[in-house]
Amino acid sequence: MPQERIRRRIWREVFPEEASVDTETFDYEYLGLLSLTPAVIRKVAKYAAYIAATETHDAHPLEESAADLDDVTITFDHVVLGLQYAEEAGGVAIESEFFQYEDKLRSYENQAVGRDVETLFKLKYGVEDGDADADADPAGASEPGADPVSAETEEPEVPKEENEEPADTPASATKGGDDTADDARTVDTGPDGGTADDPTTDASGGETSPSNTVPEDEPTSDAALEDDDGGTDTPDTEAADGTADGESGSHSSMAPDALDPEVVVEQFYDGIDTKDLEAVQALYHSSSAVDELSRQEMMAMHLNDTSMVTSPRRTAEQADRVVLEFEEESSSHRIPMAFELRLDDGKWRIYSIEHGEPVTKDDAA
């Protein structure tokens, strides 16, 4: 995209001429994907230069307007830290899209910049560390800037709540379980008794109430079920499950909690939207023909607002294999997609992904 090329050029030219910049380590493709204005890029570059100079000069604070860049080399690591500094300092709208560079974050003390965990916490939330223990734990769990603090404050509290709440549930669950078990018995005998009552009512003229009040209908129900291969209630329920699938038993190897192939693909794009790489990678087949989505690929798709814009339709369907075709849309293109899913341990998983020819949104319009 033109904006990305412009941003990459700005990143190459933003540092002062007297600065030594190790451009070989720079990931300009990543930097170009970040939606930053030229003013923000210049600010981040100043932060990176400051961090590099401070690191070189033994962490002694430098004058704001007279940073000595002699013997200072600015690396891509300094730029990543500059991005984090700008995002945490506030006033700059930078999303925490670091992904594959997470190992370079939150290392201020290692980089001798002199910002400890408490300082970062106050900077992020504007409160004292001790005053925010009760309120900051839930937010800290989801905020990247407060990982060290939330990790310490959450662990003592959450287990207590988890241990207290379930303590009440077993008692109530056992009571409810007895009731539901009794209900289940009456329900089971009802249909069986009903099927056996039709012939008996013709002969005796009795009502259907005896089948509901007398639980010992097993001989009668067994006789009535002889036409269904002489089984108990289990074959009936299995047959019902087979017809519910609409595959006449073709998916008998599916796990009970298996999701439909369409839902698996939807979860794939939901994971990209929520930046949950672990959840996305868990959707792949154990012997898939394609590599799992990497952090860098996921970051690029997220930044470009990649999503599924048409409903998937099945173009191939077998007992253990389904092919879904649909259109994927990003901020600039529409791409025909084909996902092949296969059963893996009874669950539908992504086996292969094929891309069609991208079409720019302007051309599509």
Q: Global pTM?
A: 0.38
Contact 249, 235 (CB under 8 A): no
3-state secondary structure of 350: strand
Contact 299, 99 (CB under 8 A): yes
Instruction: Retrieve residue 14's tokens.
Output: 């933003």
Rounded CA-CA distance 364/307 in Å is 16
Q: Which residues contact 247 (CB under 8 A, 6 or more apart)?
A: 319
Per-residue model confidence (pLDDT) at position 338:
96
Instruction: Retrieve residue 284's tokens.
Output: 């792949």
Q: Which residues contact 42 (CB under 8 A, 6 or more apart)?
A: 14
Q: Cα–Cα distances in Å, from 96 out to 30, 86, 87, 100, 271? A: 13, 11, 7, 11, 16
pLDDT tens profile 277-324: 999 999 999 999 999 998 878 888 888 889 999 999 999 999 999 999
The 8-class DSSP code of residue 128 comes to -
Q: Please work out, in degrees rounded to the nearest 5, the angle formed at the alpha carbon of residue 60 by the alpha carbons of 54 and 63.
A: 75
Per-residue model confidence (pLDDT) at position 266:
95
Q: Domain 261-364's class?
A: alpha beta
| Segment-wise mean pLDDT, segments of 10 residues, the chain, 365 residues | 81 82 84 82 85 68 51 84 74 54 49 40 40 40 41 43 46 44 45 46 47 47 46 43 42 73 95 93 94 85 88 94 94 90 95 90 64
Contact 261, 348 (CB under 8 A): yes
In order, the DSSP letters of 281-329 are HTTB-TT-SSPPPPHHHHHHHHHTT-EE-S--EEEEE-SSEEEEEEEEE
Per-residue model confidence (pLDDT) at position 257:
72
Q: 133-142 vs 117-125: helix axis angle to the nearest 10?
A: 90
Strands (E), the chain: 20-21, 73-74, 307-308, 313-317, 321-329, 333-344, 347-355, 359-360
Rounded CA-CA distance 78/51 in Å is 6
Cβ atoms within 10 Å of 84's Cβ, excluding its own: 25
* Residue 236 burial class via C-beta count within 10 angstroms: exposed 0-12, middle 13-18, buried 19 and up: middle
pLDDT tens profile 64-115: 444 566 677 888 888 888 887 777 666 555 555 554 555 555 544 433 333 4
Per-residue model confidence (pLDDT) at position 15:
84
In order, the DSSP letters of 205-244 are ---SHHHHH----HHHHHHHTGGGTT--HHHHHHHHHHHH
Contact 313, 322 (CB under 8 A): no
Per-residue model confidence (pLDDT) at position 105:
54
Taking phi first (over 0 means left), then psi (-120 to 50 degrees means alpha), and beta for anything else, what does residue 357 get?
Answer: beta
Contact 341, 350 (CB under 8 A): yes
Contact 245, 256 (CB under 8 A): no
Per-residue model confidence (pLDDT) at position 327:
94
Where are the chain's structural domains?
A: 2-115, 261-364
**Size of the chain in residues:** 365
